[in-house]
Amino acid sequence: MTIERRVTVGWPEGLHARPASIFVRAVTGAGIPVTIAKGDGPAVNAASMLAVLGLGAEGGEEVVLASDAEGAEETMGRLAKLVSEGLEELPTAD
C-alpha cells in the first residue's frame, strides 16, 4: 500500500540548495524509498539531490511525498512536517 502526503513547501526559497540538502539527508536517513513529485507531475527519487533540485519546487507550491515501504506511515508524517514547516532537521517521533 502506498502512503502519500500532499504538502505545501514551507521554505520560502523552495526546495533549492540548503532546504533540498536538508530534505535529501532526512530521506536518506529514514532508510525507506521515498518519491517526491511537484503537484501532479512525475515522481522522482527523493534521496537524489539532483532529482529534487530538478523539480524546481518553489515555496508555497504543493509536492507529493510517497512511499510503499512497510511501516512508512510514521516516517512519511515526519517528512511531511519537515517540508511543510520548513524545518532545519527531521522532527523526532512523538
For residue 51, give the 3-state DSSP assignment: helix
Cα 92 → chain centroid = 15
Host H or E run for residue 25:
helix 17-30
Query: Which active-site residues does the annotation give?
Result: 16
